[in-house]
Amino acid sequence: MRPITLLGIYREQLYSPGKVQADAAVLDAVLSELSGMGFKVESRRAEFLESSEPRPEIILAMAQSDRVLCILDRWGSEGSRVINSTQSIRNCYRKILMRMLADAGVPLPAGHLVEPGKAGTYDLGGLNERFWLKRGDVHAIQEGDVAAVASAECLASSLNHFRKIGVRDLLVQDHIEGPVIKFYGVGQQRFFRAYLESSGEEVTSRMDSLRAVAAHAAAVIGVEIYGGDAVMTEDKGPVLIDFNDWPSFSRCCRSAGAAIAEYVIDCLDGPIALGIHAATT
């Protein structure tokens, strides 16, 4: 039986500020596992992917640019299995993400979208309270794209930043008090890890409520490999403050790589899956 062709696509450096190596490391770990299971594995930086290339049967996609997602759209329509799907990646653009999660009842900080050029203090909230300003399209790609605001000076500086870079939509979110938890997930309840942001301590065993919230968010967005940040509040439980497709899994790269590889195999159908399972037993 011929090997299944599988292509791993690294995230564009633009969308991986300060995390290029960490993002690459988890994909490399997955590809290494799958190569050992009999897949014909290749990898490509998203910036160099061309539509003229032979279409792989399985694609592990960390890419976020519209150019690459359009290529993957076509390959997906022709039969390739894309993980994460292009639609779920687009759903993680912050403006769409917040609307979908809010509509589904996922616990989020109170917030709304404004245009930076028209934003005034009434739109942004009281200056005596701390709040957050985040670009409303992609996640942070440069310093200042996520800003805590607690003074008039901070507000003016942040608005100036967003106006300069031409962000059309600005997300305003309340600040939530409590410890921040970083979490990582694969599939629905297949793999989940949670860590205190402040110390790096693993707290997975104490985060059943966050596991459920994260799995719900993933199902709503349609993403299969995901991560994010949540604040554990005393009265409301976990409140999601960030959610994204295919994070770096930097705190659990090796175990995540194995879990993602197993997930890929379980996603295959029919004779192909049987052949792979036979080769690995």
More confident residue, 76 or 17: 76
- C-alpha angle 7-265-262 in degrees, rounded to nearest 5: 100
Answer whether 263's CB lies under 8 Å from 224's CB: yes
pLDDT-derived band at 274 (thresholds 50, 70, 90) equals: very low
Mean pLDDT to the nearest integer, 229-247: 95
- Is the pLDDT score of 107 beyond 90? yes
Task: Could you list the beta-strand ranges (E) of the chain.
Answer: 5-10, 40-45, 58-61, 81-83, 111-114, 131-135, 146-149, 170-174, 180-186, 191-196, 225-233, 237-245
Q: Which domains does the chain have, with CATH numbers?
A: 5-84+251-279 (3.40.50.2300), 110-174 (3.30.1490), 177-245 (3.30.470.20)
pLDDT of residue 35: 95
- Is the pLDDT score of 144 beyond 50? yes
- Helix 94-103 to helix 208-221 angle (10° resolution) is 110
Q: Is 141 exposed, middle or buried (0-12, 13-18, 19+ CB in 10 A)?
A: middle
Mean pLDDT to the nearest integer, 126-142: 77
- Is the pLDDT score of 159 beyond 60? yes
pTM as predicted: 0.89
- The set of residues, in sequence order, having a beta carbon less than 8 Å from that of 6 and lying 6+ positions away, is 31, 34, 39, 40, 41, 42, 56, 57, 58, 59, 60, 264
More confident residue, 21 or 141: 21
What rounded mean pLDDT belongs to the chain?
89
Mean pLDDT to the nearest integer, 266-280: 53
pLDDT-derived band at 214 (thresholds 50, 70, 90) equals: very high
- Helix 253-267 to helix 20-36 angle (10° resolution) is 50
State both tokens at 264.
């890929």
Give the whole-number percent of the chain exceeding pLDDT 90.
Answer: 67
pLDDT of residue 185: 98
Of 252, 239, 243, the closest CA to residue 202 belongs to 252
State both tokens at 105.
């009842």
Strand partners, 237: 233
pLDDT of residue 1: 64
Q: Note the pLDDT tens digit of each residue in 42-56.
A: 999 999 999 999 999
How far apart are alpha carbons 273 and 158 in whole angstroms?
A: 51
